[in-house]
Amino acid sequence: MKIVTIKEKECQAPEACDYICVQVCPRVREGAVGTVYKRENKKAAIDENLCIACGICVNRCPYDAIRVINLPDELNKELVFQYNVNSFRTYNIVSPMEGKVVGILGRNGIGKTTNINLISNTLKPNFGDFLNGASEKEIIRRFRGKEIQPYLEKLYKGDIKISKKEQSLSFTGKVREIVKKNKYKLITDEIMDKDISSLSGGQIQSVAIAAAMDNEADVYIFDEPMNYLDIYQRLRIANIIKEKLKNKTTIIVEHDLVMLDYLTDFVQIMYGSESNYGIVSHLMQTRVGINNYLAGYLPSENMKFREHEIKIKGNVPDGSLETLASWPDFNANIGQFTLSVGQNTVYRGEIVGIIGENGVGKTTFAKAITGLVETDNGRLELGLKISYKPQFIEASDVIVRDMLISIKRDFLSSETFSGIMKRLGIDRILNKNMKNLSGGELQKLAIFSTLLRDADIYLFDEPSANLDLEDRLEAINIVGSFIKANKKGAIIIDHDLMFINAISTRAALFEGTPNKSGRMGNITRTEEAINSLLKRVDITMRKDPDSGRPRINSPNSRLDIEQKKSGRMFEI
């Protein structure tokens, strides 16, 4: 069985394209006119039954809008939803479990949000009949014998009340009007009185979560709740969700593996081909499911969905102790904010992780050692050039290729950079306008362009934001080998503990009062820095023996009690 997808946004007919796909189709030439045709909205469409999958239109489409994909035949009977002609479709459906927390794990564009909409009655299963849809009665009949059937039956009767934290945070107005009760004190009084437009990303996310938790509901759904939250907010909100929604049916989509693992009892994996189709796996216990996901193989379904296994290992230092940057004790003041930093050294080929709350001087530190911010004793003259990826990336109205050429003219002929470009999928967006990129694409582009700039120190402020798990791990490998191979240095600020633990050999904890004062802790082994962080929040972690990923211990479990007693909050 095959499916054909055409990305409507990419298809430039009729304005900029004269239906090259129609012109080159051998079936059309033979007289099978309806094989490739114009839709009512003038975009191209392909009849999946008439198409012979020759691939000519796929190769000839100047806008790379067409995909022809072969699927295993047995999938046909499980098609649950398709948006439109030649559009994305999903097979199987996410299954909430009464009284349990189910996590959904999968790449960006694989259909997680689509599935959430299907179980919250924002969308209805149509079993591929996107023109007519299916009646509720038909839907119930089609799911007979499946876990989802009794759930949908109650949902359509109005017996299930759903409270949902949407992935996109499109709020406006006063916080107090959005978070009415603030039942679990997720929002401070000061923020309650503000307008959404004056808040930071993390604060808006907290508002969205608080609003969802305020509602009395039977089912709670959180679509990517940890985005933009700092590490303390993540841990605190995770604990509140765990405690307050105990025994509530809950669904959570999340790419922060440590948090997904901590929050959920079971997971369902979504795999397939991004923006073409997605398949939902069976339910698995969380630990098993995450490890299967990393392995790229589902034993119960005998399904290998990725060629390679994902390995999470700590970054190994290359042993060289050649100094790249060394600075004395210093203080720096900008506006109302004071930062104090102790004397320290960054070695060549090393990645230093930075963890801590937002607003305690992480970026100010990086700017100070590269001379962009003055210290109390004047500018530090360490002779270092910095390349900086800011936390928030602005998309300008420019073609990606031109933007990259303006940074490094000959990047396309460099072996290193063309390799990195492919691994990040930048080669596929070279002809796109930056304004049309997704959050994940924009982040990968920002990481790539930061590496393109010639510098001594590469500073990445929250590179994991908007990236799915695979992208996060790819970014770890790419940045890790680039810095090592070129004997540069990197400073990476992030709130995903798996990410920080895997990418950095040493790390520092920043502490202080946000926007007033901050202090940089010593640069120590990353595990030590995480240890200090965990002490502050009284949480313990260990490493999974199979995958090497960090896991939070359940409060008051045997390991939790033992580790707290010994003070080894992060046992490795």
Contacts with ligand ADP, residue ranges (CB under 6 A): 83-84, 87-88, 106, 108-114, 275
Tokens standing for residue 127: 């079993």
> Which residues within the stretch 109-128 sit at the binding site for Mg ion (CB under 5 A)?
112-113
Which residues on adjacent β-strands are paired with residue 387? Answer: 458
Closer residue to ligand ADP (CB): 496 or 560: 496
Residue 318 CB coordination number (10 Å):
16
Closer residue to ligand ADP (CB): 114 or 163: 114
Instruction: Spell out the residues 6+ positions from residue 168 whose beta carbon is closer than 8 angstroms to its own.
Output: none
Contacts with Mg ion by CB under 5 A: the residue count is 3
DSSP H helical segments within 145-200, as ranges? 148-157, 175-178, 189-192
The least distance separating ligand ADP from the CB of residue 295, rounded to whole angstroms, comes to 20
Beta-carbon-side half-sphere exposure of residue 508 (alpha carbons within 13 Å): 25
The least distance separating Mg ion from the CB of residue 110, rounded to whole angstroms, comes to 9
Closer residue to ligand ADP (CB): 289 or 356: 289
The least distance separating ligand ADP from the CB of residue 6, rounded to whole angstroms, comes to 11
The least distance separating Mg ion from the CB of residue 472, rounded to whole angstroms, comes to 16
State whether residue 494 is helix, strand or coil. coil
Q: Where are the beta strands (DSSP E) in 494-543?
A: 506-513, 517-520, 524-525, 541-543
Binding mask 338-377 for Mg ion (x = CB under 5 A): ----------------------------------------
Report the candidate in 163, 123, 164, 145 with the shortest Cα–Cα distance to residue 136: 123
Closer residue to Mg ion (CB): 107 or 389: 107
Run of H or E including 202: helix 201-214
Residue with smallest beta-carbon separation from ligand ADP: 275
Tokens standing for residue 476: 């770890």
Residue with smallest beta-carbon separation from Mg ion: 113
Task: Choose from Mg ion, ligand ADP, none: what does 272 bind? Cβ within 5-8 Å by kind.
Answer: none
| Dihedral over Cα of 230, 361, 539, 549: its sign | positive
Task: Choose from ligand ADP, Mg ion, none: what does 361 bind? Cβ within 5-8 Å by kind.
Answer: none
Closer residue to ligand ADP (CB): 109 or 521: 109
CB 403 within 8 A of CB 449: yes
The least distance separating ligand ADP from the CB of residue 134, rounded to whole angstroms, comes to 17
Closer residue to ligand ADP (CB): 114 or 249: 114
Report the candidate in 556, 496, 500, 529 with the shortest Cα–Cα distance to residue 260: 496
Report the C-alpha gap between 261 and 527 in whole angstroms.
19
Burial class (CB in 10 A: 0-12, 13-18, 19+), 75: middle
Beta-carbon-side half-sphere exposure of residue 545 (alpha carbons within 13 Å): 0
Task: Choose from ligand ADP, Mg ion, none: what does 83 bind? Cβ within 5-8 Å by kind.
Answer: ligand ADP
The least distance separating Mg ion from the CB of residue 103, rounded to whole angstroms, comes to 13
* C-alpha distances out from residue 390 to 198, 402, 494, Å: 19, 20, 12
Task: Choose from ligand ADP, Mg ion, none: what does 370 bind? Cβ within 5-8 Å by kind.
Answer: none
What angle is formed at CA 107 by the lines to CA 394 and CA 448, rounded to 5 degrees? 40
Task: Choose from ligand ADP, Mg ion, none: what does 25 bind? Cβ within 5-8 Å by kind.
Answer: none
Task: Using the rule CB under 5 A, give the single segment among 165-173, 175-183, 275-283, 478-486 that binds Mg ion.
Answer: 165-173
Closer residue to ligand ADP (CB): 166 or 350: 166
| Position 167 contacts Mg ion (CB under 5 A) | yes
Torsion of CA 477, 480, 485, 486, to 10 degrees: 130
| Position 164 contacts Mg ion (CB under 5 A) | no
The least distance separating ligand ADP from the CB of residue 165, rounded to whole angstroms, comes to 13
CB 302 within 8 A of CB 341: no
Which residues on adjacent β-strands are paired with residue 493? Answer: 354, 461
Residue type at position 290: I
Closer residue to ligand ADP (CB): 87 or 291: 87
The least distance separating ligand ADP from the CB of residue 328, rounded to whole angstroms, comes to 47
Closer residue to Mg ion (CB): 113 or 375: 113
| Position 268 contacts Mg ion (CB under 5 A) | no
The least distance separating Mg ion from the CB of residue 119, rounded to whole angstroms, comes to 14
Burial class (CB in 10 A: 0-12, 13-18, 19+), 399: middle
Closer residue to ligand ADP (CB): 200 or 275: 275
The least distance separating ligand ADP from the CB of residue 501, rounded to whole angstroms, comes to 25
Task: Choose from ligand ADP, Mg ion, none: what does 110 bind? Cβ within 5-8 Å by kind.
Answer: ligand ADP
Provide the binding-site residues for Mg ion, judged by CB under 5 A.
112-113, 167
